[in-house]
Structure 1
C-alpha cells in the first residue's frame, strides 16, 4: 500500500534525467504493464495518480531560459506547484461532473449528500459493527472535505515524489537542472486569487457550489502551507545547530498533525503578502 504512493517516482526520475519524451514513453509502457497485469479500468487510476502528474512536473520543471548576462534561469518551483494545484482543482471539478444527481431510488441528491451516502455504504462494508454515534462522528469528519482530502493527497504525493526524484538524481549526478532552493519558494499571484475567490464563494453560495468552493479553498491553501514550511525551514537553517532544530521542529509539527496546518498556512499567507514589500527577482527560480 505504501509503495503505491511512490508510483510516480520512477517516471519522474526518468523524465527529470532524460526529458519529457522519455517520461512519456516510460508512462505509456508502465500503463500498458498495469493493463496487462490487472485489466479492466485499472490503468485509469494509474494514469491519473502517476503518469499525469509526472508529465506535468517534468515538462514544467525542465523549462529554462537564458538571461542577458548568459546565466540560465530555470522554471520556478512555485510555478510548478501552481500548475499542480490547478490540476488538483480540475480533478475535483471533473469528479463533481461525474457524480449522478439522483440516488439509486430516483430521489434528487446533492453532491455532499452523494459523498456522504458513498462513505456511509463503504463504512457499512468495512466497519459493520461501528456504532451509530461513532458512524456519525466519522461522517462528520470526512464528508464535508472529502474531495479536498483526495485531491490534497494527490497534490502532496506529487510534490513529495518530485522533490525526492530531484534529490536522488542530484546525488547520483544525473539531474538536468540544479536542485532548487526550496526555502526560497515563491508562489504565483493566481493562487492567492484562487484562494480568495473560493473562500468568498464558499461563504456566500449554497448547495453544491458552496461544497465545491470550500473544498477548492482547502486544496488551494496547501501551497501556502508549503510556503510557510519553506519560510520556517529557512529561518531554522540560519540558526546554530540547524539540523537538530529542524528535527525537533518537524517532530513537533508531526505530533501536532492537522493542527499544524493552520499556523503554517497563516505563516505562508503572511510570507506571500510581505513579498510585495521587498525587492525580488523573477521569482523562486533560485538554485543551489
Structure 2
C-alpha cells in the first residue's frame, strides 16, 4: 500500500532523464504490468494516479527557451505546480460529473448526500466495529471536504514524487534541467483568481454549488501553502543557523498537524498578494 505513493517516482525519473517519450513508454509498460497482476480495470486508477501526473510534470518541466545572451530559461516550477493544481481541480469536476443523479438531500444537496452515503458504506465494510457515534463523528470530519482530500492527496503525491525525482537525478548528474530554487517559487495569477472565486462562491452558495466550490478552494489553497514554505525557506536562507531554524519550524508544523497548514497558507497568500521579497531571496523563480 505504501509503495503506491511512490509509484510515479520511477516514471518521473525516467522522464526527467530521458524525456517525454521515454516516460510515456515506461508508463504504458507499467500499466500493462499492473493490468497483468491486478486485472485490467486496475490499470485505469494507476494511469490517473501515477502515469498522468508523471507525463504532465515531465513535459512541462523540460520546456525551455534560449535567450539572446545564450542562456537557457527553464519552465518555472510555479507554473508546473499550476498545471498539477488545475488537474486536481479537474479531477474533482470529473468526479462530480460521474456522480449518479441524486435527489436534493435537504441542506446538504445531492452530491454531499451521495458522498455521505458512499463514505458511510465504505466505513461499514472497512471498520464494522465502529459505533454509530464514532461513525457519525468520522463522517462529520470527512464528508465536507472529502473530494478535496482525494484530489489534495493526488496533488501532494505528484509534488513530492516530482521533487524527489529531480533531487535524485541531480545528485546522480543525470537531470536534463537544473534543480529549481524552490524558495523563489512564484505562482501564476490565475491560481489566486480561482481561489478567490471559489472561496466567494463557497461562502455564499448552498447545496451542490457551494459544496463543490468549497472543495475547489481547498485544493487551490495547497500551492499557497507551498508558497508559504518557500517564504520560510527564503527567510532562513542566509542565516548562520538556517538548518536549525528550518528543523524547528518543520518540527512545530509536524506537531501541529493539519492545522499548521492554515497560517502557512496565509503566509503564502500574503507573499502572493504583496510579492514581498527579502534581498537575499530575490529573483523570479526561473532557472537559467
TM-score (norm 1): 0.94
Helix, strand or coil for the counterpart of 1:65? strand
Q: Give me the whole-angstrom Cα distance separating, in 2, the residues matched to 1:60 and 1:70.
A: 21
**1:277 Cα deviation from its structure 2 partner:** 8.9
Query: Residues 252 and 133 (structure 1 numbering): CA distance in 2 closer, same or farther, change over 3 Å?
Result: same
Task: List per-residue Cα deviations over 1:67-95 (Å, max 9, x = no partner).
Answer: 12211100000000000000000000000
Matched, 1:75 2:75: yes
Aligned equivalent of 1:212: 212
Query: Residues 236 and 281 (structure 1 numbering): CA distance in 2 closer, same or farther, change over 3 Å?
Result: closer
Contact 1:184 1:286 in 2 (8 A): no
Contact 1:148 1:219 in 2 (8 A): yes
Aligned equivalent of 2:286: 285
Q: Give me the whole-angstrom Cα distance separating, in 2, the residues matched to 1:150 and 1:88.
A: 9
Q: Give me the whole-angstrom Cα distance separating, in 2, the residues matched to 1:4 and 1:277.
A: 38
Contact 2:96 2:111 in 1 (8 A): yes
Q: Give me the whole-angstrom Cα distance separating, in 1, the residues matched to 2:240 and 2:192.
A: 34
Q: Give me the whole-angstrom Cα distance separating, in 1, the residues matched to 2:282 and 2:252.
A: 33
Query: Residues 100 and 241 (structure 1 numbering): CA distance in 2 closer, same or farther, change over 3 Å?
Result: same
Please show how residues 59-98 of structure 1 align to structure 2 within 5 Å: 59-98=59-98
Task: List per-residue Cα deviations over 1:28-56 (Å, max 9, x = no partner).
Answer: 11111111111131000100000000000
Contact 1:237 1:246 in 2 (8 A): no
TM-score (norm 2): 0.94
Which structure 2 segments of 5+ residues have no match?
Answer: 104-108
Contact 2:178 2:287 in 1 (8 A): no
Helix, strand or coil for the counterpart of 1:73? strand
Aligned equivalent of 1:253: 253
Contact 2:102 2:111 in 1 (8 A): no
Aligned equivalent of 1:241: 241
Aligned equivalent of 2:129: 129
Q: Give me the whole-angstrom Cα distance separating, in 1, the residues matched to 2:90 and 2:194.
A: 12
RMSD of equivalent CA atoms: 1.8
Q: Give me the whole-angstrom Cα distance separating, in 1, the residues matched to 2:55 and 2:163.
A: 15
Q: Give me the whole-angstrom Cα distance separating, in 2, the residues matched to 1:114 and 1:234.
A: 44
**1:165 Cα deviation from its structure 2 partner:** 0.2
Q: Give me the whole-angstrom Cα distance separating, in 1, the residues matched to 2:215 and 2:227.
A: 20
Contact 1:12 1:54 in 2 (8 A): yes
Aligned equivalent of 2:106: none
Aligned equivalent of 2:159: 159
- The runs of at least 4 consecutive aligned structure 1 residues that moved more than 4 Å come to 276-282
Helix, strand or coil for the counterpart of 2:41? coil
**1:232 Cα deviation from its structure 2 partner:** 0.4
